[in-house]
Amino acid sequence: MLFAHDTECALVAAAALVNTADPDREGLPDVAALDRFFTAHGWSGRHEHTATELRQVRALRPRLRRLWDADTDELVEIVNALLRESRALPQLIRHDDEPYHLHAVPRDAPLATRMAVEAAMAMADLVRTNELSRLRHCDHPDCDNVLVDLSKNRSRRFCDGGCGNRAAVSAYRARRAASHS
Ligand SMILES: [Zn+2]
Ligand SMILES: [Zn+2]
């Protein structure tokens, strides 16, 4: 493992949340979609199932996306702002079946606040370990998704949206076309 377990989970969840903001296909169209996202990424604590909560979570996405586009100084500004606005106060806690890990806002804070703070705390880890190059954009030319490269040899190129397969199929077709010409 490269980073603490909660850091890695938070980074993966942040990338997944950013990627739901697809202009062609909204990944969080309704409260039910947010419910599925909540479960898929192992969130717990306060979850209102309301349109307001959904709106707050959606509004967080462009801000988190900036983290992938920003240089280090700007990223640090965003991270510090997110922590400050949320009045983050790191505490080690244990809940459900998880071992001790950090929460920086109470479990009854709004979901979007907790998502913002978890992402910010994980980004702080990347800054401190000089690993911001782990934040990458999908290499597929038709894809705007972001990803977190948690592989040992920094070899990850494609997002979770099936772009790796798409690229392999195109490469295969290109080779075939070349060999038949
Ligand atoms: Zn927790
Ligand atoms: Zn992709």
Nearest bound ligand to the CA of residue 146:
2
Question: What's the gap in Å between 168 CA and the centre of ligand 1?
Answer: 37
Neighbours of 78 (CB within 10 A): 18
| pLDDT of 92 over the 90 cut | yes
Output the pTM of the full model.
Answer: 0.92
Q: How far is the CA of 94 from the centre of ligand 2 (A)?
A: 35
The two tokens of residue 87 are 């009045």
On the CB side of 163, CA atoms within 13 Å amount to 17
The token pair that represents 90 in the structure block: 């790191």
Ligand 1 centroid–CA 109 distance in Å is 13
Q: What pLDDT shows up at residue 181?
A: 67
Distance (Å) from CA 94 to ligand 1 centroid: 7
- Dihedral sign computed on CA atoms, order 31, 35, 36, 38: positive
Distance 95 CA to ligand 1 centre (A): 6
Q: Ligand nearest 6 Cα, by number? A: 1
> Long-range contacts for 130-138 (Cβ within 8 Å, ≥24 apart)?
131/2, 131/3, 132/72, 132/75, 134/2, 134/11, 135/67, 135/68, 136/68, 137/68, 138/163
Q: What is the pLDDT of residues 114-167, one digit of tens each?
A: 999 999 999 999 999 999 999 999 999 999 999 999 999 999 999 988 898 888
**Sole residue written with tokens 């010409």:** 181
Q: Which of the pair, 97 or 59, is modelled with greater confidence?
A: 59
CA angle (158, 21, 57) in 5-degree steps: 125
Q: How far is the CA of 18 from the centre of ligand 2 (A)?
A: 12
